[in-house]
């Protein structure tokens, strides 16, 4: 990875996923809610993930993921795209979205997740694992945030098809708990 002083600070993300008694997946599907806190130099933001929990899966546990996420529509971001774990392409039509996201994953082998905003409000996510996701209904999370949440979920051993909804918490987030420093030699992320 590129040393922190050379990459835009806002691109570094630490995502803490914590199981909560939150929103449940639609239609009574057995699921789990997660609070996802994204810590970056730009601040701390919280989101609620609703996930489908496969029958017989182990109980969810807190998980920490650290990665580099770039919005390629931001000035200067393209310069660092070879180092990013998550790349956001901006707006694209739904017909071209999958082809464009696939091309990004082929062009940048270090990228684990690519995202794009559809012209109809749909958010598209494609993972190197082959998983894909289209969230409809214009989720409030910006594309790069959705990419970071998807990256953390995948790094925790989940599948994109398990993510069924994303929402901002209704109440203001509690003061952010300190993010534990990585242990020497520990590996975080996908």
pLDDT tens digits along 138-163: 567 788 888 999 999 999 888 888 88
pLDDT bin (cut points 50, 70, 90) of residue 136 is confident
Distance CA 55, CA 164 (A): 16
Q: What is the pLDDT of residues 122-131, one digit of tens each?
A: 889 999 988 8
- Give the containing element (helix H, strand E) for 146: helix 143-155
Q: What is the pLDDT of residues 57-94, one digit of tens each?
A: 776 788 999 998 988 888 877 778 888 899 999 898 87
Note the pLDDT of residue 22. Answer: 47
Cβ-based burial of 175 (10 A; exposed 0-12, middle 13-18, buried ≥19): exposed
> Which tokens is 94 given?
């739904």
- pLDDT score of 182 more than 60: no
> Which residue is associated with the tokens 């392409």?
89
Q: Which residues, at least 6 apart from 5, have a Cβ–Cβ distance to it below 8 Å?
A: none
Note the pLDDT of residue 98. Answer: 87
Note the pLDDT of residue 137. Answer: 63
pTM of the model: 0.78
Radius of gyration of the chain (CA): 16
Note the pLDDT of residue 181. Answer: 47
């Amino acid at each position: 990875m590129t040393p922190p002083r050379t990459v835009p600070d806002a691109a570094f993300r630490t995502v803490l996923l914590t199981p909560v008694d939150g929103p449940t997946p639609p239609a009574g599907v057995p699921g789990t809610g997660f609070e996802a806190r994204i810590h970056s130099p730009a601040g701390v933001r919280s989101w609620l993930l609703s996930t489908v929990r496969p029958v017989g899966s182990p109980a969810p546990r807190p998980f920490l993921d650290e990665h580099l996420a770039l919005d390629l529509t931001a000035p200067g971001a393209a310069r660092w795209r070879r180092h990013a774990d998550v790349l956001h392409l901006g707006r694209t039509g739904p017909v071209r979205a999958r082809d464009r996201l696939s091309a990004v994953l082929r062009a940048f082998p270090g990228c684990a997740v690519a995202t794009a905003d559809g012209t109809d409000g749909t958010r598209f996510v494609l993972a190197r694992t082959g998983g894909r996701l289209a969230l409809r209904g214009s989720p409030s999370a910006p594309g790069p945030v959705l990419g970071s949440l998807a990256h953390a979920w995948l790094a925790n051993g989940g599948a994109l098809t398990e993510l069924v909804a994303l929402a901002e918490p209704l109440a203001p987030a509690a003061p952010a708990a300190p993010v534990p420093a990585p242990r020497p030699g520990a590996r975080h992320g996908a």
